[in-house]
Amino acid sequence: MKKKQEKDDRRTPGTSVVAKTDKGVMAGKMEKIISLCKRRGFVFPSSEIYGGFGAVYDYGPYGTELVNNIKTAWWKAMVRENDNIVGLDSAIFMHPKVWEASGHTAGFSDPLIECRKCHARLRVDHILEEAGVFADEKMSEEEINKLLEENKDKIECAKCNCKDFTKAKKFNLLVKSNLGNFTGNWEENPVYLRGETCQGIYINFKNVLDSTRVKVPFGIAQIGKSFRNEITARQFIFRKREFEQMEMQMFVHPDDEMDHFEEWKEKRWQFYLDLGIKEENLKWHEHENLVFYAKAAWDIEYDFPFGFKELEGIHARGDYDLTQHSKFSGKDLSYQDPHTNEKYIPHVVEASAGADRTFLALLSEAYTEEEIEKENGEKELRVVLKFPKKLAPIKVAVFPLLKNKPDLVKKAKEIYDSLKSQFMCEFDDNGNVGKRYRRQDEIGTPYCITVDFDSLEDDTVTIRDRDTMKQERIKAGELEGFFNKNLG
C-alpha cells in the first residue's frame, strides 16, 4: 500500500505550487484525446445512457485491443523474459483480515471536505493544490484543518466557487461489498473489493513456493482490477475508481534487497522506452517521506498533458508484507534456503504499474496533428495516433477501391481473410479511400492495403504507410512476409 501525493512532494507543506505548463495548450490536447477516444471507440464513459457513472470507464473495441497489447507487453517483459518470475491470477475478493494485516482498513485514506452550499465532496490536497498550497499526505486531520484555516481565502469550491466548507475528515478508500453476507448488517463486517492486486500475491507466497520450483530470489506477477473510492473524478482515466494494475513482487534475501531494487528500477525505466515513450517525457521522483518499513520508493512519472504524474512505483518494502500476513494469519511465511538452511522472511521489491495510466501515456505520446496538402492544393489537418506498430490496435486495414465493384470487394475480402488470423485486421469499404485513410490514421493503423483494378490484372496491391503516407505496390503473395518483417 502506498497512499501519497500525486504531485511534486519534494516541496515543503504549505508552500506555493508553481504552474509548470501552459495549462490552456495542455488542456486542449487532453480534450482532443478524450474526444478522439469517444469518437473512435477507445474509451467510453461507463453507463453513458444513464448519464454516466463517476470515475468509471469502459474500453471500446480499439481501446480493448490497445490495453490488451499493453498487458501482453508487460507480461512478456515480466514473466516470459525473466526465468525466476511466475504469474498469478488471484481473486478480487479476499478474507477481510487481509486488509487489516496490510494496514488498509486503518490507514488507506484521503482527506475530504464538503462544500456547504452545493455539497460537492472534494479532496483537500487537490483543492489546496489548485490554490497553490502543498499538503503532505502524512498530515493528521488536525494539521490539515489548520492548513485549510490558514489558506481559507485562497480555496474555493470547484463547482460553485463558494468558500464555505465543512471540516476536513479522512475518508477510507476501500470499496465495501456484502459478498456472502445475508444478514442485512453487512456494513459492520464488509468484504472489500481489493484496493491493490499485490495482496493476492503475498497471501499466495507459500502456495507458489510449495507448488512450483521457484527459489528466492523469485517474483510473482499479476495483472488485474483494483478498486478505490477515489473522492474526486479527475483527469479522465488517470484516476479511476475501477482500474487495472500490473504488479510484480520480487521476494529476495534481506541482504540483497537494494541490489534487486536498483536492478528493477533500471528494468522498469527501459520497459517504457521499449514501449516507444520518449525519454524526455519520463522522470524519476524519489519519495522522501517513506512509510516506516520502506527502504526506498521511487516513481516513474510521465509528462501527461496535465503535467508530470505517476505511471509506476518501484519500492523496497522490507519484510513488512509477509511479516504482517504471518502475524494476522498465524501461518509461518518464512523461507528456508535449501543450500544454507538459513531461515528468514524474504524482503519484497515491488514494481507496481497501472494499465490505464500506461494507456493514457501512450495515447498522449502518439497523438499527432499534421497539416497536409490535399491533391486539390487545399490544406487539411491530419490527426494520427503514431503508436509503435506492435501496440497499434489494428495492424492492417484492407480496402476495395470501390465498394460497388464485386470483383474488387471479393479480392479485398480474400486478402483480408488470408491475413486476419495472423495480424489484427479490419476490412473497410465505407466512404472514399481518403476518408478511410483518415479514419485509420486516427486509430493508429500502421498499414492500409488498397485493392484496385490493377490488382485484378497483376495480383498486386498498394500498401500505404501511416507515418510517411507513402504508397508502394507489392504482390499480394508477399504481404504476409512484408508484415512479418515490418510489424515487429
Residues 211-230 that bind ligand GAP (CB under 6 A): 228, 230
Q: How far apart are the C-alpha atoms of 399 and 447, rounded to whole Å?
A: 11
Q: Give the nearest distance from C-beta 358 to ligand GAP in angstroms.
A: 7
Residue 50 CA: distances (Å) to CA of 45, 57, 267: 10, 13, 43
For ligand GAP, the closer of residues 9 and 356 by Cβ is: 356
- Kindly state the cell numbers that stand for 188: 459492520
Task: Give whole-number Cα distances, 57 to 28, 42, 48, 241, in Å.
Answer: 21, 10, 9, 9
313 makes contact with ligand GAP (CB under 6 A)? yes
| Pairing outcome for strands 347-354 and 307-316 | antiparallel
Stretch that binds ligand GAP, among 111-119, 146-154, 352-360, 365-373 (CB under 6 A): 352-360
Q: Which is nearer to ligand GAP, 233 or 402 (CB)?
A: 233
- Near ligand GAP in 106-165, by CB under 6 A: none
Q: Which of 240, 268, 285, 287 binds ligand GAP (CB under 6 A)?
A: 240
Of 356 and 442, which CB lies nearer to ligand GAP in the complex structure?
356
What is the CA angle 428-430-431, rounded to 5? 135
Considering only residues 247, 257, 319, 452, which one is a binding residue for ligand GAP as defined by CB under 6 A? 247
Does the protein bind ligand GAP through residue 452 (CB under 6 A)? no
Task: Name which of 320 and 447 has its Cβ closer to ligand GAP.
Answer: 320
Select 352 or 450, whichever has its Cβ closest to ligand GAP: 352
Is 203 a residue that touches ligand GAP (CB under 6 A)? no
Binding of ligand GAP by 287 (CB under 6 A): no
Contact call for residue 309 and ligand GAP (CB under 6 A):
no
Q: Is 268 one of the binding residues for ligand GAP (CB under 6 A)?
A: no
**198 contributes a contact to ligand GAP by CB under 6 A:** yes
Kindly indicate which of the ranges 80-88, 111-119, 130-138, 309-317 contains the residues binding ligand GAP, using the contact rule CB under 6 A: 309-317
**Contact present, 134 and 11 (Cβ < 8 Å):** yes
Report the residue from 206, 239, 347, 464 that binds ligand GAP according to the rule CB under 6 A. 239
3-state secondary structure at position 218: strand
Pick between residue 353 and residue 479 the one whose CB is nearest to ligand GAP.
353
**Residue of the chain from 65, 356, 426, 428 that contacts ligand GAP (CB under 6 A):** 356
What phi-psi label fits residue 191: left (phi over 0), alpha (psi between -120 and 50 degrees) or beta?
Answer: beta
- Residue 182 CB, nearest approach to ligand GAP (Å): 31
> Per rule CB under 6 A, is residue 352 in the interface with ligand GAP?
yes
Min CB(69)–ligand GAP separation in Å: 17
State the amino acid at position 210 in one-letter form: D
Among 66, 77, 311, 425, binds ligand GAP (CB under 6 A): 311
Bridge partner residues of 475 (DSSP): 460
CB 114 within 8 A of CB 121: yes
Which string of DSSP letters, residue by residue, matches 347-403?
EEEEEEEEHHHHHHHHHHHHEEEEEEE-TTS-EEEEEEE---GGG-S-SEEEEES-T
Cα(71)–Cα(199) distance, rounded to whole angstroms? 19
* CA gap 229, 247 in Å, rounded: 20
Tell me the residue nearest to ligand GAP as measured from the CB: 354
Binding-site size, ligand GAP (CB under 6 A): 19
Which candidate, 246, 169, 201, 459, places its Cα nearest to that of 348? 201
**What is d(CA 428, CA 399) in angstroms, rounded to the nearest whole number?**
5
Selected from 73, 78, 252, 353, the binder of ligand GAP by CB under 6 A is: 353
CB of 241 to ligand GAP, least distance (A): 7
CA-based nearest residue to 14, from 205, 203, 154, 207: 154
Closest C-alpha among 155, 184, 160, 129 to residue 8: 129
Helices (H) then strands (E): counts for the chain: 15, 23
- Contacts for 241 with CB less than 8 Å, ≥ 6 apart: 54, 55, 56, 175, 227, 228, 229, 230, 233
Task: Quote the Cα angle for 461-465-470, to 5°.
Answer: 80
- Rule CB under 6 A: choose which of 222, 235, 245, 462 binds ligand GAP: 245
Rounded least distance, CB 324 to ligand GAP, Å: 14
Q: Residue 275 CA to chain centroid, in angstroms?
A: 13
260 sits near ligand GAP (criterion: CB under 6 A):
no
- The smaller minimum CB distance to ligand GAP, of residues 309 and 389, is found at 309
Judged by CB under 6 A, which of 312, 321, 365, 428 binds ligand GAP? Answer: 312
Q: How far is the CB of 62 from ligand GAP (least distance, A)?
A: 19
**Nearer Cβ to ligand GAP, position 148 or 221?**
221
44, burial (CB in 10 Å: exposed 0-12, middle 13-18, buried 19+): middle
Per the CB < 8 A criterion, the answer to whether 445 and 431 are in contact is: no
Nearer of residues 2 and 260 to ligand GAP, judged by Cβ: 2
Please give the Cα distance from 428 to 464 (Å, whole number): 14
357 binds ligand GAP (CB under 6 A): yes
The yes or no reply on residue 310 touching ligand GAP (CB under 6 A) is yes
Note the residues at the interface with ligand GAP (CB under 6 A): 2, 196, 198, 228, 230, 239-240, 243, 245, 247, 310-313, 352-354, 356-357
